[in-house]
Amino acid sequence: MIDLEILRSDPDRVRAEIQKRHLDGPDVGEVLKRDKARRTIITKLDEFRVKLKAASDVVASAKGDARDQAVTQAKKLSADAKALEPDVKRAEAAFMELAAKLPTFAHESVPVGASADDNEVQATKGEKPTFDFAPKPHYEIAEKLGILDAKRAARVSGSRFHYAKGDLVLLQWALHRFVMDELTQRDFVPMLTPTLVNAGAMFGAGMFPVDTQEVYSVPADKLYLIGTSEITLVNYHAGETLDIKERPIMYSGFTTNYRREAGAAGKDTRGMIRGHQFDKLEMFVFASQETSWDILDKVLLPTAEGILEKLRLHFRRVVLATGDLPYKMQKTYDVEVWMPAEQRYVEVGSISNAGDFQARRLGIKYINNEGEKRFAHTLNGTAAAFSRLPAAIIENFQEADGRVRIPEVLQSHFGNKEYLEASK
């Protein structure tokens, strides 16, 4: 949610943000109209309640006819207030239907543009691998080694699922151990979270009402499968006032995640890049407004990039333009690894600052140095996606004979083996 005072006092700023992000709506004038109707009926209900309290006080102290009259008045006021409550709920729902779709305000450093074509490449790191042969895509190598099986998975679950076998599983767990060590050394607290949540948790994280098409649901239980542990981690401190004035609260959440990939028809249909189910280790931070931007650039971004540097992968850092920026984020960096077989970069992680957008929805606050209660800032970043990173490793570390060298930093977590072995 954005600050409603900004919506009321400077609606043109909200309109400009919607235009800058190339969104279809909602109509700001209609949002203001519904806000006014909501506040009017809430004021009316509050007036009934004030009168009811006064009448109740008379009932408690009066005697005789005066008390009887006060009782009659109190009953009428109570009935009037109760009759108004459904109207209040309808007015609140009508307002939230639109207000919840308003985007937060992009940071001033975010490039303005209509789409991903306008994203800004900010840095390129590491050396591209060179080959004296035509490199193969990761799925061909993994299938030949017998460590990736999408055909059998399709019989069981449909497209965009796969079985990982043998050394592919061990590679994922070696990555997990390596990345988790990197995070714990930086004071991230490890978390294992639920993967099923209710609609309120989805709304609080900013997934609803905008990204509903990407979410798998379990209608019988009114639950939803998460697509990232960001959802469960941000909800962990809902309604709390946090002690983050001096130090942020930092978590690393490991979850299996599910995404429908509704908008990705025909994209990366083979292999491990864009599956419906994947494991991920996510960084999540609750920070003060005064420190969040330093944490984005000096903690989350260097941590994510440092992991790729230690794996000796060539990658680039991209700042998302306003037209590609998620509506709940004020700024997002994408980290993209080079895939030599396809001669393109593939996103392996995003690092974002949501500002106070999620905290407003969830009522997460802190007390600043002046003793004022303020909404916290929430930040998240991919530490490792255990489908895309193995795909990048297989493709970048392949050799002419079909073998795949294991990155040096992972070998100690892999029984000191140097190469992936074919599945027996």
Please identify which of the residues 21, 38, 259, 360 carries the catalytic annotation: 259
> Token pair of 5, please?
């005072």
> 407 and 326 in contact (C-beta within 8 Å)?
no
* Segment-wise mean pLDDT, segments of 10 residues, the chain, 424 residues: 94 96 92 96 90 80 75 83 91 95 96 96 95 96 95 94 96 96 97 97 95 93 97 98 96 96 68 93 98 98 98 98 97 98 95 98 96 97 96 97 96 94 89
> Token pair of 322, please?
């306003």
> 358 and 329 in contact (C-beta within 8 Å)?
no
Q: Is 186 a catalytic residue?
A: no
Please identify which of the residues 260, 274, 316, 405 carries the catalytic annotation: 274
CATH (residue range 116-411): 3.30.930.10
Task: Give the pairing type, strands 120-125 and 315-319.
Answer: antiparallel
Domain with CATH 3.30.930.10 in the chain: 116-411
> 352 and 380 in contact (C-beta within 8 Å)?
yes
Locus of tokens 């249909």 = 269
Q: Is 350 a catalytic residue?
A: yes
State the Cα–Cα distance between residues 88 and 45, nearest whole angstrom.
8
Domain with CATH 1.10.287.40 in the chain: 4-99
Fold observed for domain 4-99: Helix Hairpins (1.10.287)
Q: At what angle do helices 28-61 and 64-99 cross, to 10 degrees?
A: 160
Please identify which of the residues 97, 290, 347, 421 carries the catalytic annotation: 347
Q: Is 316 a catalytic residue?
A: no
Beta-carbon-side half-sphere exposure of residue 16 (alpha carbons within 13 Å):
8
Predicted TM-score (pTM) of the model is 0.92
State the Cα–Cα distance between residues 179 and 211, nearest whole angstrom.
29
> 352 and 332 in contact (C-beta within 8 Å)?
yes
**What is the pLDDT at residue 263?**
62
CB neighbours of 401 closer than 8 A, spacing ≥ 6?
none
State the Cα–Cα distance between residues 344 and 337, nearest whole angstrom.
8
**What is the pLDDT at residue 71?**
79
Q: Is 370 a catalytic residue?
A: no
> Token pair of 182, please?
């990197």
Tell me the one-letter amino acid at 68: D
State the Cα–Cα distance between residues 365 and 211, nearest whole angstrom.
25
**What is the pLDDT at residue 266?**
61
Q: Is 423 a catalytic residue?
A: no
Please identify which of the residues 350, 352, 360, 387 carries the catalytic annotation: 350
